[in-house]
Amino acid sequence: MNNKNLNEFNEKGFVIVKNLFSKSEIKLIYSQLEQMIDTIIDYNGLPINKKITLDNKYLLLQKISPKLKSHFYDMLPYIDCVNNLTSSKKILNIIKSLLSCKAVFITGQVIRLDHKSDKRHLPLHQELNNISNDFALVWVPLVDVNKKTGTLCVIPESHKYGHLIYKDSKKEAQYHKVGIINKIMKNKEKIDYQNSIVKKLFHKKNIYHVNLKAGDAMIFKTFMFHGSTPFNSNKIRWTFLSTFHPIQKTPYLRDTKAKLHIPYDVDYNKL
């Protein structure tokens, strides 16, 4: 990371890192995901042909046994390739440079997946309920993404407003009924956000659709508004995510009354 990258991170609220993951690293992730799902198929004698693609295996598993599909998803944070990449020297050097710190806590490392029939794409929101109020979130698609396919969307420079309280902001993002990107892009979200700054920010002219190749990364700051659009493909959008927190910015270490995860209804600007 050079001064240009650091300035971009602080000014825009994000930085793009090309080829953060190599093709061999992505191949290893897919290999371990396949081992997980094949174990489920073998142990339970499921009628799924193991010669079909990983994407098709997952979609069939979801149809045949939603419970086992959930078990597969629940175990994604624990596979060794995810944890090895998260704590790799390559990533930690970048993160520590961007956050200007010598040590970090790591949370939320996982492989997320989205597909056409999945309704869990997230509305615009700020990343809350974490262990610090000043962190970096790494988002790495394992497939190519762009506006046409469906992708991560951000509002550049929105982090400069700090923590904003508005309609639904004290809830988990998946329960928000505002900030729906597709509605905003079509001028169809007619809602009282209960915050004039949010009303100004949630406009289609401000939304940047991230265009990345598999293995490229977007690293963004705590309060930058972000969300996602549905993946418009017959395949799956597999994505690596992890969050990095400077030790000095963690209230749990400083305050005897602090909770490990900062509640949604706290004013983060006062921490």
pLDDT number for residue 118? 78
pLDDT, tens digit only, all 271 positions of the chain:
788 999 999 999 999 999 999 999 999 999 999 999 999 999 999 999 999 999 999 999 999 999 999 999 999 999 999 999 999 999 999 999 999 999 999 999 999 999 988 766 799 999 999 999 999 999 999 999 999 999 999 999 999 999 999 999 999 999 999 999 999 999 999 999 999 999 999 999 999 999 999 999 999 999 999 999 999 888 999 999 999 999 999 999 999 999 999 999 999 999 8
pLDDT number for residue 78? 97
pLDDT number for residue 116? 84
Half-sphere exposure of 260 (CA within 13 A, CB side): 2
Considering the entire predicted model, what is its pTM? 0.96
pLDDT number for residue 1? 78
Element (H, E) at 227: strand 226-228
Alpha helices by DSSP H, listed for the chain, are 3-12, 23-44, 54-64, 66-74, 80-86, 89-99, 181-185, 196-201
Structure tokens at 66: 């939603």
